[in-house]
Amino acid sequence: MKRIKWLLFLIVLGISTILIFKDNETTPSKATGIEQEKVVPLPTELHPIVKERSDQLVQQAAKKGIVVLVTDGFRSTEEQNTIYEQGRTAEGNIVTNAKGGESYHNYGLAIDFALETPSGDVIWDRQYDRNENGKSDWSEVVQIAKSLGFEWGGDWKNFKDYPHLQMDFGLTIADLQDGQRPDELSNVADTQ
């Protein structure tokens, strides 16, 4: 009889433990201290706010007579690795220091831009002044982007990435790699 009671006690204890920790996928287990990982899928497109603000950037620049082209947005890990290899194991100049999973592009939080001339040429000339107002179109676009909540890669201390604009929503690359994601209604200063 003692064996049956002991066996029932162990079964109840086991079931209780399972029920307690069943819905708590990301909380460290009190018994082991090991955090159970919840798999968070990578995005496959630009975050809705980044997309909306990118569109606003293009529209506001057009009102100033500047034609902005978004040349890159969301990038898969594979695409990022291909770009990273440029200038290293593949031909071309080094254009990034970020491997796959290390760029805000991989999380749908960054875009790259260029300017278009009246003849349809795509340029990255930071001195170009299509609207002939005495200010470089590039710096005008950067100012608009910053007013929309973007961070500019040209402000970085080490590797300057002049065509790059991103919104990090307060998240680091490490946060994103750990599965954190900005929600679709994240707080980005609304400067409209």
Longest CA–CA span in the chain (Å) reads 95
Q: Which of 85, 113, 88 is nearest to 99 (CA)?
A: 85
**Residue 23 located in a structural domain:** yes
* Cβ contacts of 134 within 8 Å, gap of 6 or more: none
Structure tokens at 78: 């594979």
State whether 6 and 90 are in the same domain. no
Are both 63 and 136 inside the same structural domain? yes
Tally of structural domains, the chain: 2
**How many Cα atoms within 13 Å fall on the side-chain side of residue 170?**
6
Q: Is 112 helix (H, G, I), strand (E, B) or coil?
A: strand
Residue 86, domain member (yes or no)? yes
Residue 60 in any domain: the answer is yes
Same-domain check for residues 23 and 86: no
The b-or-e profile of 40-52 (16+ CB within 10 A means b, else e) is eeeeeebbebbbe
Tokens of 124: 């990255």
Same domain? 60 vs 140: yes
Do 102 and 129 sit in the same domain of this protein? Answer: yes
Is residue 33 located within the same domain as residue 62? Answer: no
C-alpha span between 180 and 173 (Å, rounded): 10
Q: Which two tokens stand for residue 143?
A: 């100012």
Same-domain check for residues 153 and 60: yes
Domain of 143, in residue numbers: 48-177
Can you read off the two tokens belonging to residue 69? 């082209």
Task: Measure Cα distances from 166 to 107, 114, 116 in Å.
Answer: 10, 15, 21
Residue 147 in domain: yes
Closest CA to 107 of 80, 70, 142, 82: 80
pLDDT tens for each residue of the chain, 192 residues long: 666 665 555 565 556 555 554 544 444 444 445 555 567 888 999 999 999 999 999 999 999 999 999 999 999 999 999 999 999 999 999 989 999 999 999 999 999 999 999 999 999 999 999 999 999 999 999 999 999 999 999 999 988 999 999 999 999 999 999 999 998 766 554 444
Same-domain pairing of 160 and 81 = yes
Residues 58 and 146 in one domain: yes
Q: Are residues 57 and 140 in the same domain?
A: yes
The answer to whether position 96 is within a domain reads yes
Give me the amino acid identity at 133.
Answer: N
Same domain, 24 and 82: no
